[in-house]
């Protein structure tokens, strides 16, 4: 036993042994790697994965109406001042206008139709209008409708989703561009 201790001491004092020993962590540093540092990253990964799953669920849910709204607004199917066909009008009213924060004021005395036209203040921008039974037509934002729908249906994840996907006045543009590259030139502005 004494011989082993002397050999060990001799190895530790040799110049080559110091280089090898220096590469190893000191014993006292082992106590700094506590399990508490590992658990938050695992918890974070689980929370992050849960967020991504919920984000995908929201995207799958709103994707059809977003594509429809963008198709109506940015395709040549509807000219300025043209009223939507019955099926698309029903989809817009049920899935968008119903969730607008001021939908009752927008509809007012009654809904005659939904129309596409240029915004009176922002002439370059096409938007959807409610044509009321009294002849008045009022614009509405499909993005506000979507945001309220998301807040209503997914209250826990709504603000994070809206902040991520509706920033810079772009409504899911990156998502649609990545998923549907052929539609990029038609919808992404």
CB 119 within 8 A of CB 126: yes
Q: Which residues contact 17 (CB under 8 A, 6 or more apart)?
A: 11
Domains along the sequence of the chain with CATH: 62-187 (3.10.450.40)
Q: pTM to 2 decimals? A: 0.67
∠ CA 138-98-116 to the nearest 5 degrees?
A: 40
107: how many CB neighbours lie within 10 A of its CB?
Answer: 19
In order, the DSSP letters of 46-100 are HHHHHHHHHHHHHHHHHHHHHHHHHHHHHSTTS-TTEEPPHHHHHHHHHHTGGG-
Tens of pLDDT along the chain (189 residues) come to 555 655 555 555 555 544 444 455 555 454 555 454 445 556 668 888 999 999 999 999 999 999 999 999 988 999 999 999 999 999 999 999 999 999 999 999 999 999 999 988 877 789 999 999 999 999 999 999 999 999 999 999 999 999 988 876 566 655 555 665 555 455 444
Quick one: pLDDT at residue 48? 86
Two structure tokens written together for 11: 């190895």
- Token duo for residue 151: 């807040």
Tell me the CA distances in angstroms from 189 to 96, 159, 169, one per residue in order: 21, 23, 10
């Amino acid at each position: 036993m004494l011989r082993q201790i002397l050999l060990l001491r001799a190895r530790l004092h040799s110049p080559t042994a110091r280089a090898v020993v220096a590469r190893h962590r000191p014993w006292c540093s082992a106590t700094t790697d506590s399990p508490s540092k590992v658990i938050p990253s695992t918890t974070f990964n689980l929370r992050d994965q849960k967020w991504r799953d919920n984000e995908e669920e929201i995207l799958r849910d709103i994707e059809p109406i977003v594509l429809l709204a963008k198709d109506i607004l940015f395709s040549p199917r509807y000219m300025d001042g043209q009223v939507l066909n019955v099926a698309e009008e029903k989809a817009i009213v049920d899935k968008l206008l119903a969730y607008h924060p001021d939908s009752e004021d927008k509809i007012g005395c009654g809904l005659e139709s939904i129309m596409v036209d240029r915004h009176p203040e922002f002439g370059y921008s096409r938007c959807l209008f409610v044509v009321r039974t009294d002849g008045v037509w009022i614009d509405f934002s499909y993005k506000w409708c979507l945001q309220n729908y998301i807040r209503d249906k997914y209250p826990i994840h709504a603000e994070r989703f809206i902040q991520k996907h509706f920033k810079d006045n772009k409504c899911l543009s990156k998502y649609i561009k990545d998923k549907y590259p052929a539609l990029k030139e038609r919808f992404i502005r």
